[in-house]
Amino acid sequence: MFKFWGSQEEQVRPSQDVSTQSWYPPSVSSSRPATPGSTSSNHSSSQRLSDRPQSPSHVPPAEAAGIISALKDKSVDELRKLLSDKDAYNQFLLSLDQVKIQNNLRDELRKETLQLASENLEKEPRIMELRNQCRIIRTTELAAAKEKLNELDQKKEEILKLCSPASLLQRLQESMKETEDESDNLHRQLLDREIDLGSFTHKYKKLRMNYHRRALIQLAAKTT
């Protein structure tokens, strides 16, 4: 009589012998229950299997429990059919909740990917239009803007030169010299009687005040 897994009467040993009618890999076929006709071959294959390093299982306990729960109520004939019939195995596999969840997730991701790809394709004409606009701006408006910017930079440099401390001191010195020349000219007019004393006094006083004020500013600028 066929002994099912977990039976207290007999413990099934893993077998590396694969039936010629089975399409499963050795890792799956080795879990098939032993039959009386394959005792000797199972013994030798089990001995060879024990010499190989065993790879650890990566199936989570919860998923393994769900698979075992789905298999425990099946008859021996149904289990044998799963081992020998690929279509039956695939049908059973697709009926598992874990597989359904993975398939649904895959379908959702595929749908989202297709949607994103479709949206990107719809944006392609707009992208091409913007590229053409950028190319036009680069060749026309950008060139004019660069030229205008260069002009403004030159004006800025000129203004900065005029407002530099050395330039301001130079202009102050020139203004002092002009005031000094006006004072000398006014004094000569008085000597030549070209101007009366009252007008001379008023104008000369104003010129000398401007001269000395600028001289003090120049002295303060040089000492700081």
Give residue 109's pLDDT band: very low, low, confident or very high (50, 70, 90): very high
Cα distance between residue 186 and residue 203, in whole Å:
8
Which residue type is seen at 57? Answer: S
Cα distance between residue 208 and residue 183, in whole Å:
7
Using DSSP's 3-state secondary structure scheme, residue 27 falls into helix
Q: What's the pTM value of the predicted model, to 2 decimals?
A: 0.32
Cα distance between residue 28 and residue 189, in whole Å:
126
Q: Read off the DSSP letter of residue 21.
A: T
Give residue 114's pLDDT band: very low, low, confident or very high (50, 70, 90): very high
> What are the pLDDT digits (tens) for 116-139?
999 999 999 999 999 998 888 888
Assigned token pair, 50: 């024990």
Cα distance between residue 11 and residue 27, in whole Å:
18
Report the interhelical angle of 97-139 vs 86-95 (nearest 10°): 80
- Map tokens 């060139």 to a residue: 143
Q: Read off the DSSP letter of residue 38.
A: G
> What are the pLDDT digits (tens) for 143-193?
888 889 999 999 998 888 888 888 888 888 888 999 999 999 988 888 888
Give residue 14's pLDDT band: very low, low, confident or very high (50, 70, 90): very low
